[in-house]
């Protein structure tokens, strides 16, 4: 695990919402669900769709292109057509800073 990088403010991401941030040249989705923050890679492994343009429904984010779903805690694909997981990243809250571990 690399160093933690500040990607946004927790107070700017209401419960049930997410932000998209750049980390090591890649976009990540940082979701706020049930008081927890989780980070996953933003690119759907089915056809490269931008998960950051999708919708968050509980612990799952849905790709806007073909409706694949991914668990934001584990990165696992929970609804086809995607079958491969997206990467996950460790998240730490420091004061109001959302920090995500770089690769």
What are the sequence ranges of the domains in the chain?
4-101
pLDDT of 103 reads: 74
pLDDT of 66 reads: 95
DSSP bridge pairs for 28? 21, 41
Q: In what order do the strands lie in the sheet with 91-94?
A: 4-9, 97-101, 91-94
Asked if 38 and 91 count as a contact pair (C-beta separation under 8 A), the reply is yes
pLDDT value at 1 more than 70: no
pLDDT tens per residue across span 44-102: 988 999 999 999 999 999 999 999 999 999 999 999 999 999 999 999 999 999 999 99
pLDDT tens per residue across span 4-48: 999 999 999 999 999 999 999 999 999 999 999 999 999 998 899
CATH of domain 4-101: 2.102.10.10
- What three-state secondary structure class fits 28? strand
């Amino acid at each position: 695990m690399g160093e933690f990088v500040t990607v946004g403010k927790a107070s700017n991401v209401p419960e049930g919402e997410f932000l998209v941030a750049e980390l090591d040249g890649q976009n990540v989705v940082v979701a706020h669900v049930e008081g927890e923050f989780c980070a996953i890679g933003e690119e759907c492994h089915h056809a490269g769709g931008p998960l950051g343009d999708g919708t968050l429904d509980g612990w799952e984010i849905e790709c806007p292109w073909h409706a694949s779903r991914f668990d934001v805690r584990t990165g696992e694909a929970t609804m086809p057509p995607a079958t491969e997981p997206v990467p996950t990243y460790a998240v730490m809250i420091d004061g109001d800073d959302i920090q995500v571990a770089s690769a």
